Amino acid sequence: RPCSLGTCCSYRLRDALHPLWQSPLSVPGGTRQSPIDIQWRDSIFDPYLRPLKISYDPDTCLHIWNNGYSFLVEFEDSADKSIIMGGPLENQYRLKQFHFHWGAINEWGSEHTIDSRVYPAELHLVHWNAVKYESFEDAVMEGNGLAVIGVFLKLGAYHDGLQKLVDALPAVKHKDEIVEFDSFDPSCLLPSCPDYWTYAGSLTTPPLTESVTWIIKKKAIEVDEDQLEAFRMLLFTSPGEEEKRMVDNFRPLQPLMNRTVRSSFQ
């Protein structure tokens, strides 16, 4: 219905859209958005945080899929086979997938930062609360629905465990390509140090829902230049389209607002 001013009511200022995801950079009313900069000195040691318990079954590994934002390694999650519990979590969470975010060059690429230090890449191991919810899709909409372990990647020694994944990437060069991937245990991508920070946040890509308990490992894992370059040869684009290299697939930092970051270590 035309409004009294005779101008079309649907006209409104365009919100700032993220160039990559065409999604709002800021979620209206968002109070717990991710990623954030973790200020080490402002994080609070919580002695009640328990050790994180991680138990992955390599036989639940299904395939690698280029979804046009990143590449996902997806897991069979119809039973409690690959799970995490403890740490800040009240329930057991099931592994659904893991993926990475990275930059065009080694100077940037991670989503979270530590005292403003950026890493060349960041691994996200995505789990959902299978005690409280029926499916990952349901859990995505709930405040305690997801738990994501974040691991920083830094340039250094060759990472033997990552190489099996790197060798499979050419098979998923283009958006929507998928390749079978079996018997991979993602625990090989975790640092041996148990220390982590944890805070209440959100998905960093659409639908950006505020459903994630983030568990950010203090220690980074080392990978070498060729392994990082392998990520950068992936494409955002489908076969036949003008090629766009899959790089800089990270969301900008979001305001901390009224949140505390807790540490599992002193």
Binding site for Zn ion (CB under 5 A): 124
CA of residue 104 relative to chain centroid, distance: 18
Residue 110's binding partner out of ligand L4W, Zn ion, none, with CB under 5 to 8 Å set by partner kind = none
> What span, in angstroms and rounded, lies between the C-alpha atoms of 75 and 94?
9
Chosen residue from 83, 148, 169, 230 binding ligand L4W by CB under 6 A: 148
Q: Answer yes or no whether residue 261 interacts with ligand L4W by CB under 6 A.
A: no
> What span, in angstroms and rounded, lies between the C-alpha atoms of 195 and 23?
33
Shortest distance, position 3 Cβ to Zn ion, whole Å: 41
The number of beta carbons lying within 10 Å of the beta carbon of residue 1 is: 3
**Binding to ligand L4W in span 166-205, by CB under 6 A:** 203-205
Q: Where are the alpha helices (DSSP H) in the chain?
A: 136-139, 160-168, 225-232
> What span, in angstroms and rounded, lies between the C-alpha atoms of 175 and 238?
5
Q: Answer yes or no whether residue 137 interacts with ligand L4W by CB under 6 A.
A: yes
- For residues 118 and 126, which CB has a smaller minimum distance to ligand L4W in the complex? 126
Residue 174's binding partner out of ligand L4W, Zn ion, none, with CB under 5 to 8 Å set by partner kind = none
The number of beta carbons lying within 10 Å of the beta carbon of residue 229 is: 11
**Binding to ligand L4W in span 198-217, by CB under 6 A:** 203-205
Chosen residue from 54, 114, 118, 126 binding ligand L4W by CB under 6 A: 126
In three-state secondary structure terms, 252 is coil
Residues of this chain that bind ligand L4W (CB under 6 A):
124, 126, 137, 140, 148, 203-205
